Amino acid sequence: MDIGIIKYGLGNIASVFHSLKSVGSSPLVIENPSEIRNVDKIILPGVGNFTRSKKILDMNGWTEEILNATQNLEKPLLGICLGMQLLAEWGYEGLLADEDTRTSGLGLIKGDVVKLTKLGCDERIPHMGWNTVKWNVCSPLLEGIPNNSDFYFVHSYAFVPNKISEIVATSNYSISINAVVNKNNIWGTQFHPEKSSKAGLKIMENFANF
C-alpha cells in the first residue's frame, strides 16, 4: 500500500516523507501528476500561498489527477496545512493585497478559506506553536490519541467547511479553529502531524493503515 506525497512546489516535504517511513509505511515522492495513478493513498502537503499553489496544481495537471483519484477511484487523501485548505471550494488568500478576490480550491469539501483576523481572531498572527486539539467526533484518523492532545500549528488562514458535521476536531485561539476535517475518503489537518511528535506520528500511522 503505497502513499504518494505530492511535490508540487516549495516546502518541507522531507519531514512528511520521514514521518511515514518511521511508522513503517513506504512513501513515494510524486513529481509527475500521472504517477498518482500508481499509488493507493495521497498526501497533499503545503506551505505558502493558496492562490499560487492552486495555480501550480491547475497548470501542471495535478488538479485533474487528484480529482480523478479521489472522486472516481475513492483513494484516501490527507491534506496537511495549506494542503487541507486547498480541499475547500474557495480561498480568500490572493497574490496581491486584494483580499476580496477569491480563488477556487479543489472543492472536495464545501467551504471557504478565510483569514484568521476576518474570523475575529485577536491573537498574534500567524497562529504558531503547539495548541490543544479537541475532538468533536470519534474518527479513525485520531484513533489511539487521547482527546486534547497538542499539535503543531503554523497558519494565518483557516478552513471553514459549510457543514459542521465535516469538522472532526477544533482548536482554540481566541476563536475556534477547525483542526481536522473529513468527508468520506477526504481528510485534512490544519496542524502539521509530521512535526507533532508522537501524537502526530500516530496520525500518519492511522492514515497509512486506512
Partner 1 sequence: MLKKRIIPTLLYKEMGLVKGSKFNSWRRVGPVLPSIKVYNTREVDELIFLDIAATQNKSDIDYETIREFSKFCFVPLTIGGGINNINQVNKLLEIGADKISINSSAYENPRLIEEVANQYGSQCVVASIDAKKTGNKWTCFSNSGTKDKKINPITWSKKLEELGAGEILITSIDKDGTNEGYDYDLISEITSQVKVPVIASGGAGKYDDMYKAIDISGASAVAAASIFHFTEMTPMEAKLFLDKKGISIRKNYVMTK
Least spacing, CB of residue 64 vs partner 1, in Å: 27
With beta carbons less than 8 A apart as the criterion, state whether 126 and 156 touch. Answer: yes
192 is catalytic: yes
Catalytic residue from among 93, 155, 192, 205: 192
Q: In the numeric block, which cell numbers belong to residue 160?
A: 471553514
Letters for 14-53 (x = contact with partner 1 by CB under 8 A, - = none) are xx--xx--x------------------------xx-----
Give the burial string for 150-171 (b: 16+ CB within 10 Å, else e).
bbbbebebbbbbeeeebbbbbb
- Can you tell me the distance from the alpha carbon of 171 to that of 150, in angstroms, rounded to the nearest whole number? 9
Residue 93 found at the interface with partner 1 (CB under 8 A): no
Q: Which of 168, 173, 107, 160 is nearest to 139 (CA)?
A: 168
| Part of the chain binding partner 1 (CB under 8 A), chosen from 57-65, 96-104, 158-166, 191-199 | 191-199
Residue 134 found at the interface with partner 1 (CB under 8 A): no
Task: Compare residues 49 and 68 and give the one whose CB is closer to partner 1.
Answer: 49
- Can you tell me the distance from the alpha carbon of 107 to that of 85, in angstroms, rounded to the nearest whole number? 10
194 is catalytic: yes
Catalytic residue from among 65, 93, 194, 205: 194
Among 199, 205, 206, 208, binds partner 1 (CB under 8 A): 199
- Can you tell me the distance from the alpha carbon of 85 to that of 139, in angstroms, rounded to the nearest whole number? 19
With beta carbons less than 8 A apart as the criterion, state whether 179 and 133 touch. Answer: yes
Residue 160 found at the interface with partner 1 (CB under 8 A): no
Residue 185 found at the interface with partner 1 (CB under 8 A): no
- Can you tell me the distance from the alpha carbon of 89 to that of 148, in angstroms, rounded to the nearest whole number? 29
Residue 126 found at the interface with partner 1 (CB under 8 A): yes
Residues within the interface to partner 1 (CB under 8 A) = 10-12, 14-15, 18-19, 22, 47-48, 123-124, 126-132, 145-146, 149-150, 152, 154, 172-173, 194-201
Q: List residues with catalytic annotation.
A: 81, 192, 194
